[in-house]
């Protein structure tokens, strides 16, 4: 089978992560990078070679995602990375009820995603911009949409439902779940690290980063998750509030005179760690400041408390727990947060070995822990490349 060169595009609310993979008998990363600060006065473009060495770092003016993508393709062409590209794979946050696996990008798919944009207004418009930009800048390459929600296609119906009138559920108001590409990758890595027995057991995966969620799985399939209709629900996040009494939203609308757009900005961009601390959305910065800043300490404590509470709830949904996996920027790198989330959970069989935890060892649980606690680095981009490569095989 001939090698394929695949560009992956992961569009966030203010950033675009990209990579180029050569997919054949092996999977080889050729290029990775990110454009951050999109929409701000000054954006930053960074690119790294196959060894992780920085080969480009420059400021640029990217007032929106279209401008950022134009700059990306100008750079790819200038450095000949656009030559030989066979396809582009996109992380698409929401596939609704109809898209439960990777899909070739067609005019019909784009039309469906436009309708779904009301479900994920913070994400889908940017992802559509990325798809359309590549159609303009590289019309010869095929494109594949890889859905974050697809991992939850087999989640039990009861776990999907909100206690709302049936007609609203029929319109699509239900729990979907997100971070699915990350959890797919972790599931595959867990099978390699722990064998089939680990995957078939009762597993909770905690993707803790700027966005944060937990998912319970058995036999590699989702049983329940913390995020719901949108990625704003569940755990406390960097700038998102997580779960919230709907009465709070009603109060803001009725008594504070806020518009729906104001409320959206509040719960998605001004809440979470940034809101409760009043200092920063960055966990590392809050950990550095929590000794002298009581609000920083309280923000960290709330993050860990809510994570611990959801961990217990998901273990109940599973009927117990065999394996706990930490991933994401915070989950992979902060031994302090991992320790504080697991503190006091000995009754569940979770016991952390402090030295293994500080060293970020693959297994950080103690020998006396009945639950295996692991740290696995996620790779959504590689998962996108795999899905895209597999989709190309069946493309006619």
- Active-site residue 129, yes or no? no
- Yes or no: say if 228 and 234 are a contact pair by the CB < 8 Å rule: yes
d(CA 80, CA 297): 48
Residue from 16, 18, 104, 101 nearest 8 by CA: 18
d(CA 218, CA 202): 5
Question: Which residue out of 148, 245, 288, 353 is catalytically annotated?
Answer: 148
Distances in Å between the Cα of 214 and the Cα atoms of 47, 89, 277 are: 30, 25, 23
d(CA 342, CA 180): 23
Beta-strand ranges (E) seen in the chain are: 4-11, 15-23, 27-36, 43-48, 54-60, 85-92, 103-104, 142-147, 202-208, 212-218, 221-225, 323-327, 372-375
Contacts of residue 45, defined as CB under 8 A and 6 or more positions apart, other chains included, come to 33, 34, 35, 56, 57, 58, 59, 60, 71, 72, 75
Helix (H) or strand (E) holding 294: helix 294-318
Catalytic residues: 148
């Amino acid at each position: 089978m001939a090698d394929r060169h695949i560009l992956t595009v992961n569009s966030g609310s203010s950033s675009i992560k990209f990579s180029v993979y050569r997919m054949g008998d092996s999977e080889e990363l050729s290029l990775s990078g990110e454009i951050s600060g999109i929409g701000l006065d000054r954006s930053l473009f960074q690119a790294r070679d196959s060894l992780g060495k920085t080969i480009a770092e420059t400021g640029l003016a990217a007032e929106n995602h279209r401008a950022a993508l134009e700059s990306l393709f100008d750079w790819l062409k200038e450095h000949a990375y656009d030559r030989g590209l066979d396809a582009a794979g996109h992380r698409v946050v929401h596939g609704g009820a109809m898209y439960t696996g990777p899909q070739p990008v067609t005019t019909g798919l784009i039309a469906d995603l436009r309708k779904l944009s009301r479900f994920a207004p913070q994400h889908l418009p940017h992802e559509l911009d990325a798809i359309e930009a590549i159609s303009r800048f590289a019309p010869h390459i095929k494109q594949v949409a890889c859905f974050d929600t697809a991992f939850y296609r087999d989640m039990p119906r009861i776990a999907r439902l909100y206690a709302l009138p049936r007609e609203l559920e029929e319109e699509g108001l239900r729990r979907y779940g997100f971070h699915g590409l990350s959890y797919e990758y972790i599931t595959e890595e867990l099978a390699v690290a722990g064998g089939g027995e680990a995957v078939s057991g009762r597993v909770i995966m905690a993707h803790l980063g700027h966005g944060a969620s937990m998912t319970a799985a058995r036999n590699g399939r989702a049983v329940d998750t913390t995020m719901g209709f949108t990625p704003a629900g569940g755990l406390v996040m960097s700038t998102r509030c997580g779960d919230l009494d709907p009465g709070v939203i009603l109060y803001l609308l009725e008594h504070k005179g806020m518009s729906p757009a104001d409320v959206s900005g509040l719960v998605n961009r001004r809440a979470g760690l940034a809101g409760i601390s009043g200092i920063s959305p960055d966990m590392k910065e809050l950990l550095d400041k929590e000794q002298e800043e009581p609000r920083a300490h309280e923000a960290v404590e709330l993050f860990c408390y809510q994570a611990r509470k959801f961990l217990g709830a998901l273990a109940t949904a599973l009927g117990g727990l065999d394996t706990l996996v930490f991933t994401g920027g915070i989950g992979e790198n902060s031994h302090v947060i991992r320790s504080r989330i697991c503190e006091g959970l000995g009754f569940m069989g979770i016991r952390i070995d402090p030295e293994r935890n500080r060293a970020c060892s693959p297994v950080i649980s103690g020998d006396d822990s009945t639950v295996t606690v692991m740290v696995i680095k996620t790779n959504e981009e590689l998962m996108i490349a795999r899905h895209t490569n597999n989709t190309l095989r069946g493309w006619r």
